[in-house]
Amino acid sequence: DLQAMVSELYRQREHSPSPELPESLFLLFTDLIDAEISEELARELIDRVRQGAGNGDLGDPVLLKARIARMIEDEIEVTGPIRVTPGERRLVALVGPTGVGKTTTIAKLAGNFHLREHRRVGLITVDTYRIAAVEQLRTYADIIDLPMEVVSTPREMQQAVDRLSDLDLILMDTAGRSPRDEVKIQELRTMLAEANADEVHLVLSSVNSIESMKKAARQFADVGVTSLVLTKLDEATGLGNLIPLLRSC
């Protein structure tokens, strides 16, 4: 056990941003690594804190941690909730790869706006590819008591939007698309253009690898994405990989 402890301490010292790093910054560095922030990014954050800190500040771990937190917060631009105005129809579409939780997120949003905020909400689904996808969303619509339209073509999309035009909010569920399938991405772009969506939210799972999220963000940018929704936060062991993702968007 003692040998393992010494080996671990030696490994950590090898990964320290600087051999002369004060203990408070070294411990903060290891905290960043534990949060699944890459070593390169952790070094960058530690160096920025060190450059802006006075000699007295380096002995205050609480202060240093607060400064790191502010640095990270400054890199995350939060758009806030969907803004719904009674009497003004707003159409919000959710897009993204398969299995990230688009339909579940749609149901949560619909329930919140209809049951809590008492807005008139309708649903549109174009997910006619996945087995039982339409039935899943229809079940949610029946439970919450919402109108729902199923769309297969751009022409049907315009007709569905017209039928729901008297509502405050229309939430659109789309079929999951592989970021590598450029043909399906373009089909999705055509459908969204026909719907004239006010907002297009890219839904990504926070448990996916940073490279897969970056690739998805690049590919789905072509459909007019306006913001990012992260799901499965409760399943993620750490969220440090989100910073490189946001920097690349």
Please tell me the distance from the alpha carbon of residue 96 to that of residue 173, in angstroms, as a whole number: 10
Please tell me the distance from the alpha carbon of residue 44 to that of residue 247, in angstroms, as a whole number: 14
Helix (H, G, I), strand (E, B) or coil at 196: coil
Q: Which of 25, 13, 19 is nearest to 57 (CA)?
A: 25
Please tell me the distance from the alpha carbon of residue 191 to that of residue 224, in angstroms, as a whole number: 12
Q: Which of 87, 105, 89, 147 is nearest to 123 (CA)?
A: 147
pTM: 0.81
Q: Which of 192, 241, 231, 235 is nearest to 93 (CA)?
A: 192
Instruction: Specify the pairing of strand 148-150 against strand 199-205.
Output: unpaired
Please tell me the distance from the alpha carbon of residue 230 to that of residue 206, in angstroms, as a whole number: 6
Residue 95 in contact with residue 201, Cβ under 8 Å? yes
Mean of per-residue pLDDT scores for the chain: 86
**Structure-block tokens of residue 26:** 């070294």
- The per-residue pLDDT for range 217-246, each reduced to its tens digit, is 988 988 999 999 999 999 988 888 788 888
Task: Assign 5 a pLDDT band (cuts: 50, 70, 90).
Answer: low
Residue carrying structure tokens 């991405």: 185
* 169 bridge partner residues: 90, 121
Q: What is the DSSP letter of 35?
A: T
Task: Kindly state the average pLDDT of the residues 37-61.
Answer: 84
Q: How many CA atoms lie within 13 A of 114 on its CB side?
A: 22
- The per-residue pLDDT for range 107-163, each reduced to its tens digit, is 999 999 999 999 999 999 987 666 667 888 899 999 999 999 999 888 899 999 999
**Structure-block tokens of residue 21:** 């790093």
Q: What is the CA radius of gyration of the chain?
A: 23
H runs (alpha helix) in 75-200: 102-111, 133-144, 154-163, 182-195
**Top-confidence residue, 17 or 44:** 44
How many CB atoms lie under 10 A from the CB of residue 217? 19
Residue 23 in contact with residue 227, Cβ under 8 Å? no
Q: Which of 30, 35, 24, 18 is nearest to 72 (CA)?
A: 35
Task: Kindly state the average pLDDT of the residues 96-103.
Answer: 91
